[in-house]
């Protein structure tokens, strides 16, 4: 049975945006479903995918091994798979034909259908927007609206507009899908030929999900300090290389000769401990260090990346931050130290 609807685990957020961008009905696991799956082995997302007759894609080996997933048409993506190769793998496995007419017909935020507003609805939207002026008030500009989350869209011919950038990316993804379906099963698509720039963002998804201070930029990972509210973490260390040093910015690099490389990258990420929490009163901040981006890692990992963390090299729903902390003794805490 052919599946033209997809279900992705929570870690596949970027792939989800790409599939929706070309018009493919794509369900993304909710944060609550992901937490229950990782903590207690819940299979409710698999059951939801089965009920909706979706092709399930996951990067979790333990989840893919569950009977409920094995009974579904599904695909296990290696944790090191780039989004380009993941997109191609989904197209190849499902044989979904990407059509130009389907591009930009789904909301990348919620998967709803984007529909053209009739005259009365467009007039109503412009009246509601009278004060903020967030949408064009020129009656000649056609407005579109997501039938689910009610986000409003319109077309702009400017090359740097979000609509134009989304259209260009959708066109490149269509080409990639065509190349994938035309290749034989033994052909290997060269990643260098399909590496795509993706600046179609989903409202700073990762930043909104965290309680870090508002000045923290997910594009730089060089904060001046930690948020005053709860906590930070120790991070799993993985010895990847020695004798490599990079100057990654104002802060000392976490990559230094003969030192451990800071990452929680493991072949099977789910089920690993990646955050240990302490009350703010239990530690003092000694200093922060810059976390490398994917492009910084390319020399070491030997892969081509353009996106910033979080990503496959840091497959977490948390914003990553690196800091040198010192735990306080009970006596220091009682005396109000730190």
Q: Clarify whether residues 238 and 292 are in a common domain.
A: yes
Q: How far is CA 160 from the centre of its chain?
A: 22
- In terms of domains, do 142 and 38 share one? no
Domain identity same for 78 and 168: yes
Model pLDDT, residue 133: 85
In angstroms, the first-to-last Cα distance of the chain is 62
Mean pLDDT, residues 229-247: 30
Domain shared by 10 and 150, yes or no: no
Do 313 and 79 meet the contact criterion of CB atoms below 8 Å apart?
A: no
Answer yes or no: do 224 and 291 share one domain.
Answer: yes
Is the same domain home to 167 and 92? Answer: yes
Mark 21-53 as b/e (b = at least 16 C-beta within 10 Å): bbbbbbbbbeeebbeebbeeebbebbebbbeee
Could you tell me what percent of the chain has a pLDDT over 90? 45
In a domain, 203, yes or no: no
Residues 264 and 186 in one domain: no
265 and 334 part of one domain: yes
Q: Residues 243, 135: one domain?
A: no
Read off the pLDDT of each residue in 226-255 and give the average, rounded to a whole number. 32
Query: 122: part of which helix (H) or strand (E)?
Result: helix 119-128
> Which residues constitute the domain of residue 129?
114-154
- Say if residue 59 is in the same domain as residue 83: yes
Average pLDDT over residues 157-165: 84
Give the number of domains in the chain: 3
Q: Identify whether residues 215 and 295 lie together within a single domain.
A: yes
Does residue 108 or residue 194 have the better pLDDT?
108
Residues 134 and 170 in one domain: no
């Amino acid at each position: 049975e052919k599946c033209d609807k997809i279900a992705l685990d929570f870690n596949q957020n970027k792939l989800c945006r790409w599939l929706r961008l070309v018009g493919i009905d794509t369900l993304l696991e909710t944060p609550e479903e992901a937490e229950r799956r990782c903590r207690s082995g819940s299979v409710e997302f698999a059951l939801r995918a089965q009920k909706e007759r979706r092709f399930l894609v996951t990067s979790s080996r333990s989840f893919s091994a569950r009977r409920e997933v094995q009974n579904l048409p599904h695909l296990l993506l290696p944790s090191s798979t780039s989004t380009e190769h993941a997109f191609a793998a989904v197209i190849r496995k499902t044989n979904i034909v990407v059509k130009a007419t389907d591009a930009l017909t789904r909301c990348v935020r919620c998967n709803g259908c984007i529909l053209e507003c009739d005259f009365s609805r467009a007039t109503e939207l412009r009246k509601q927007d009278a004060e903020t002026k967030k949408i064009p008030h020129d009656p000649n500009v056609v407005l579109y609206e997501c039938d689910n989350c009610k986000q409003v869209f319109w077309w702009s011919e400017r090359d740097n507009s979000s609509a134009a950038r989304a259209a260009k990316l959708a066109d490149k993804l269509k080409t990639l899908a065509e190349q994938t379906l035309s290749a034989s099963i033994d052909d290997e698509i060269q990643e260098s030929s399909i590496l795509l720039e993706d600046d179609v963002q989903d409202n700073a998804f990762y930043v909104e999900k965290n309680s870090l201070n508002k000045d923290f930029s997910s594009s730089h990972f060089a904060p001046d300090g930690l948020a005053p509210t709860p906590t930070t973490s120790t991070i799993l260390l993985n010895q990847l290389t020695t004798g490599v040093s990079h100057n990654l910015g104002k802060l000392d690099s976490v990559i230094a000769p003969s030192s451990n490389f800071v990452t929680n990258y493991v072949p099977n990420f789910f089920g690993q401990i990646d955050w240990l929490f302490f009350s703010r009163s239990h530690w003092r901040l000694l200093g922060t260090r810059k976390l490398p981006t994917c492009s910084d890692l390319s020399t070491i990992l030997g892969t081509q990346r353009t996106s910033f963390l979080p990503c496959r090299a840091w497959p977490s729903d948390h914003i990553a931050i690196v800091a040198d902390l010192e735990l306080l003794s009970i006596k220091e805490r009682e005396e109000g130290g730190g």
